[in-house]
Structure 1
Amino acid sequence: MNATKAWVEAQFPLIRHHGSLVYLDSAATTQKPEQVINRISKYNRQEHANIHRGVYDLSQKATMAYDQVRQQVKYLLSAQRDEEIIFTKGTTESLNLIAYSYGMPMLSEGDEVVLSIAEHHSNIIPWQQLVKNKKAVLKYLPVDIEGRIIESAIGTVITEKTKIVSVTMVSNAFGTLQPIASVIKRAHEVGAVVVLDGAQSVPHKKVDVKALDADFLVFSSHKMFGPTGVGALYGKYALLEKMIPYQTGGDMIEYVEEQTSTFAPIPQCFEAGTPNIEGIIGFGEAIRFIEQVGYDFIHKEEMGLTKYAYDQLSHLNHIQIYGPLDIKDRGPVISFNVEGVHPHDVTTILDQDHIAIRAGHHCAQLLMKRIGLPSTCRVSFAVYNTTEDIDRLIESLKKVRKWLGYES
């Protein structure tokens, strides 16, 4: 379909319901379009049954709907096989799964795991636990003042001892686009596998895992118009074959004996227990919505909003913006601070004007420490936002220092 801005805006009932709300926290979670809400409701009202167990019609139809989403994710990422897609609770669980299921059997004492200073905590702590357990070494790619990995350091930090490199594609704190191609090239030169955190990438533009030659890619449904508690992990099949089960129990076995059990094939062996069926079906509908709107439309709209917001913020006194100066080097995220005002105070004041933004360290304390900041304000955009939203943000920000008595 040829999406229009008016049509897209009309698809989000929460935004319609809160007519005065300006929602600028989509990097944390996006709002859901009507069709996603309706699809989940239809499943619960008309189609609810467990999957992969019943031979009766209702269960078979639920299973088909669930399995179809795996195909949707495969096509979304341009993966080669349905089996390369594993459903999880989200990006965090996906990273923990890879760290345990791949890292535990493949890492030896003295081996290296490389991250970047710009990582979300979800892409740090699982690896900290892994290297501690395996007596391996954790290293970091440095970043510059814009939060971008310093390319000249890639060749020296990633060495022959490096076995795993796990990096974000886009910084959730500053919106910085990372030099992923350079990281992958160097990692593969030394035989390391690359894990890509796509939580802030897949919702906004086409990610082709085959073209990237990505070994693993993880992302979450709720950051791309879908339900919470659902995510996907892509892995090259040859690597998935080397992995051990992350959790055990029902639906991931073929046969159980008193002392031993045989596991189901990939991907079922990584999906123990009854999954979030309604959430995954809703995830599929969110993908359908993105396909209807189109990545080209989404990217154009979001980056237009980002440029407009950046320009407007730049003209305000007492505002410090962080991250890339060039809009083409960032995603739809802008972090900033108001001189003399704590970010939490800024967001509290903006909330009085029904403007929702994020304040804090954004689960990126290493990056904040590198830049010398305890926290920032963050605005992040989705395709449902408008320039009018940004105008209201700017007008509200003009009042912040006056409200606190810094200006008359």
Structure 2
Amino acid sequence: MDIQEIRKHFPILDQEVNGHPLVYLDSAATSQKPISVIEAVSDYYKGYNSNVHRGVHTLGTRATDGYEGAREKVRSFINAATTEEVIFTRGTTTSINTVAASYGRANVEEGDEIVITHMEHHSNIIPWQQLAKEKGAVLKYVPLQEDGTITLEDVRATITSRTKIVAIMMVSNVLGTMNPIKEITKIAHENGAVMMVDGAQAAPHMKIDVQDLDCDFFAFSGHKMVGPTGIGVLYGKKKHLEAMEPVEFGGEMIDFVGLYDSTWKELPWKFEGGTPIIAGAIGLGAAIDFLEDVGLSNIEAHEHRLAAYALEKMSAVEGMKIFGPQDPAQRAGLVTFNIDDVHPHDVATVLDSEGIAVRAGHHCAQPLMKWLNVSATARASFYLYNTEEEIDRLVAGLVKTKEFFSDVF
């Protein structure tokens, strides 16, 4: 990968923040967008803005072709068996909520179990909490090891014949842990449960094959993979989606509407009520084109190199506490950390004064923060446009932060 050539596609990176060249290390929250994605969205609005599926005029046909063409790109990107298994949503959160509200309500009964982990993002905890309360089900957690990983032995001990849904993230947005989803899915299926995968931190960074994983549902967001905000995907096996009821009702998702009853369109449209996210889908299609041109395997290898480099350099900073697996081969391209006696928000503020953007807070993972016995952490997350030189800037900023607060206190 020619990183400097890749960076030329991202105009936002060519600026100064607080008098310093921008170092953007917050891609786990949202990634930056290449010119091709920005232009794809702009071209839709400038050239063929129209609603999809309904009109027979030329603009409507072009918009429909763009929208459904993006669905085929997503199908190929994750290797779904058919475009019927690709539902466009607002993002990972909406996708998971759809599964909980539709599949969960229809299949979970009192005394049944839903299995998740302590490392989950709030969007993969709260929907299951609410479903468990509504149905009188039991919410169970696979325990974490000291390094923030889970073992298949613990997975087998937690999942039982009463388990109906297993919902686990493929990559932790805090710890960087890469979970063995294929093996967990096999255990879930052996016990008669379905597997819901939160792929928000995986799809942007590595090749996904939902048929190889054999998962029942897979969710991800466009904005974390150089695409627009407000667009995401729910993949579901056709047999499940066909049996599930929609959770939003209105135009576009209907077949026939009578005075007292209605019927639904076939897949995938029965889950896409109202005017869909047309520009977002077209932008997501352009994002997939960009990532595939670079190569997902190249992106993954580059991020592993950055993670290894960051772990080595950051570990040398006095008072540094790094969370998650210490072996770079076991983690994705992010490092979550704290510095002794310095609040993470103060760390992020000092780094921002140096033009370095990192995330600070609980990262929508308060149960994990409690498990780590901290109130908050700072996080540097890397993507295809980051460099070792930017990590050097980060480390220098962390040293400066440590020295500043040592002088103050």
Partner of 2:202: 201
> What is the CA–CA distance in structure 1 between the aligned matches of 2:284 and 2:21, rounded to whole Å?
28
Residue pair 1:217, 1:233 contacting (<8 A) in 2 also: yes
> What is the CA–CA distance in structure 2 between the aligned matches of 1:157 and 1:5, rounded to whole Å?
43
Letter in 2 for 1:242: A
Partner of 2:263: 262
Deviation at 1:236, TM superposition (A): 0.5
Residue pair 1:118, 1:148 contacting (<8 A) in 2 also: no
Which secondary structure state, in structure 2, belongs to the residue aligned with residue 241 of structure 1? helix
Deviations 1:278-327 (A, max 9, x none): 11100100000001110121112111111111110011111111100100
Report whether the alignment pairs 1:390 with 2:388. no
Letter in 2 for 1:7: E
Partner of 1:79: 80
In structure 2, stretches of 5+ residues that fail to align are none
Mapping of residues 283-302 of structure 1, within 5 Å: 283-302=284-303
> What is the CA–CA distance in structure 1 between the aligned matches of 2:160 and 2:287, rounded to whole Å?
40
> What is the CA–CA distance in structure 2 between the aligned matches of 1:266 and 1:296, rounded to whole Å?
31
> What is the CA–CA distance in structure 2 between the aligned matches of 1:371 and 1:182, rounded to whole Å?
26
Partner of 1:277: 278
Which secondary structure state, in structure 1, belongs to the residue aligned with residue 59 of structure 2? helix
> What is the CA–CA distance in structure 1 between the aligned matches of 2:182 and 2:38, rounded to whole Å?
37
Partner of 1:347: 348
Deviation at 1:102, TM superposition (A): 0.6
> What is the CA–CA distance in structure 2 between the aligned matches of 1:370 and 1:17, rounded to whole Å?
38
Which secondary structure state, in structure 2, belongs to the residue aligned with residue 59 of structure 1? helix
Deviation at 1:4, TM superposition (A): 2.3
Mapping of residues 5-404 of structure 1, within 5 Å: 5-18=3-16, 20-404=21-405
Deviations 1:80-136 (A, max 9, x none): 111000000000000000001111111111111111111000000001111111111
Deviation at 1:407, TM superposition (A): 7.6
Letter in 1 for 2:6: V
Letter in 1 for 2:318: N
Residue pair 1:107, 1:163 contacting (<8 A) in 2 also: yes
Residue pair 2:116, 2:167 contacting (<8 A) in 1 also: yes
In structure 1, stretches of 5+ residues that fail to align are none
> What is the CA–CA distance in structure 2 between the aligned matches of 1:407 and 1:33, rounded to whole Å?
41
Q: Percent identity?
A: 48
Residue pair 1:145, 1:371 contacting (<8 A) in 2 also: no
Residue pair 1:146, 1:176 contacting (<8 A) in 2 also: no
TM-score normalised by the chain length of structure 1: 0.97
> What is the CA–CA distance in structure 1 between the aligned matches of 2:349 and 2:146, rounded to whole Å?
28
Which secondary structure state, in structure 2, belongs to the residue aligned with residue 404 of structure 1? helix
Deviations 1:244-270 (A, max 9, x none): 111000000011110001111111110
Deviations 1:24-46 (A, max 9, x none): 00000000001000111111100
> What is the CA–CA distance in structure 1 between the aligned matches of 2:11 and 2:61, rounded to whole Å?
32
Deviates most, 198-207 or 13-22: 13-22
Residue pair 2:10, 2:33 contacting (<8 A) in 1 also: yes
Residue pair 1:158, 1:187 contacting (<8 A) in 2 also: yes
- The runs of 4+ residues in structure 1 deviating greater than 4 Å are none
> What is the CA–CA distance in structure 1 between the aligned matches of 2:335 and 2:355, rounded to whole Å?
19
Aligned alpha-carbon RMSD (Å): 1.2
Residue pair 1:113, 1:136 contacting (<8 A) in 2 also: yes
Deviation at 1:390, TM superposition (A): 0.7
Which secondary structure state, in structure 1, belongs to the residue aligned with residue 263 of structure 2? strand
> What is the CA–CA distance in structure 2 between the aligned matches of 1:218 and 1:395, rounded to whole Å?
37
> What is the CA–CA distance in structure 2 between the aligned matches of 1:108 and 1:339, rounded to whole Å?
47
Deviation at 1:182, TM superposition (A): 2.7
> What is the CA–CA distance in structure 2 between the aligned matches of 1:80 and 1:177, rounded to whole Å?
25
> What is the CA–CA distance in structure 2 between the aligned matches of 1:377 and 1:41, rounded to whole Å?
35
> What is the CA–CA distance in structure 2 between the aligned matches of 1:333 and 1:174, rounded to whole Å?
8
> What is the CA–CA distance in structure 1 between the aligned matches of 2:378 and 2:93, rounded to whole Å?
23
Aligned pairs, how many? Answer: 406
Which secondary structure state, in structure 1, belongs to the residue aligned with residue 141 of structure 2? strand
Deviation at 1:137, TM superposition (A): 1.2
> What is the CA–CA distance in structure 2 between the aligned matches of 1:343 and 1:167, rounded to whole Å?
27
TM-score normalised by the chain length of structure 2: 0.97
